[in-house]
Structure 1
């Protein structure tokens, strides 16, 4: 199921990231650059190029092989990337946790795709990775992302002052978590 393609509706699929996504990711990120600017770190111009995204995706795939990251994309009917979703900092053992990050193309925003994708990723994290919890952070004024997390069962558990360097400044973040299960860890690979 981790490698499965999941239909989210309206011709949009959630699927694993592949290296061939580089050009399409670059186009979507460039198209959405102004829209996402308030919520993103400052990025060099290279980040928005096909080669920049090829290097980014190659790093994500290497981290996936090492068990540290699970990267997915939203893809439209033409298989163009219209969003990215990553479970980062995957830790097994007694913690069994990961951090969720995501973005959606400006042309697809407000259609419920982030909510559908986050719900599906939580299922995979619980059932396939056997994670206990997922956490996510949003800037204090990112109400849209906070709504996505609330709809997906995340609860705020704290606030982190000057948590990430976003759009040129250290920004405070609300911290959210979703407990996926309270079952035993036995039988889980570490």
Structure 2
């Protein structure tokens, strides 16, 4: 994948694939957003927030993209800092042609439309370039902001998954959403 920005999101932010060398910026972003993300993510070890761990993760992202398993992106501001993530995980071909969508936005950049713009761009990319038929996303029951972003982008609620993911140290129920991309 190209290291150049894939999409402009607004006058200050662009979306591009995770690349080697992103470890330091990812570590800074996750450290700055540690408390903000805690309620929405798995429990993270202290090592997760280090540059070394994040650089190893960046290598895994590049390898997964090369293998067609996942496509992971960063939202970067014009100063080069990571301000969020958006991922197409668990890409399945065959009769399914689907992927799981996940994302987060830096706490200092909330309510600017970044998540909506990023989801819109990634859905178009998944349809036009990756040739997927479907995207699925899951939110915690009380994550109304994420549910709003998904609804604004044509995702429809398809069900409730009890004990779906271990988030913040507990197996938690999630609402499932999908968007059919066509094709």
TM class by shorter chain equals over 0.9
Tell me by how many angstroms 1:149 deviates.
Answer: 0.5
How many aligned positions are there? Answer: 181
Q: TM-score, normalization: structure 1? A: 0.92
Please list, as runs of the form range in 1=range in 2, the aligned pairs for 1:1-190 lying within 5 A after superposition: 3=2, 5-181=6-182, 183=183
| TM-aligned CA deviation for residue 172 of structure 1 | 0.2
Q: What is the distance in 1 between the residues matched to 2:148 and 2:123?
A: 16
CA distance in 2, matches of 1:109, 1:25: 18
- TM-score scaled to structure 2, two decimals? 0.96
SS in 2 for 1:20: coil
Q: What secondary structure sits across from 2:125 in the alignment?
A: helix
User: Aligned partners of 1:124 and 1:23: how far apart in 2?
Assistant: 27
Deviates most, 157-166 or 15-24: 15-24
Q: In the aligned structure 1, how far is the partner of 2:121 from the partner of 2:133?
A: 15
- What secondary structure sits across from 1:19 in the alignment? coil
Q: Could you list the runs of 5+ residues in structure 2 that have no partner in the other structure?
A: none
Whether contact under 8 Å (2:19, 2:61) holds in the other structure is no
Mapped partners of 1:173, 1:10: distance in 2: 34
- Whole-Å Cα distance in 2 between the matches of residues 78 and 17 of structure 1? 16
**Runs ≥4 residues deviating over 6 A:** none
Deviation readout 1:58-92 (Å, 9 max, x if unpaired): 11111111100011100000111111111000011
Q: Distance in 1 between matches of 2:34 and 2:159?
A: 29
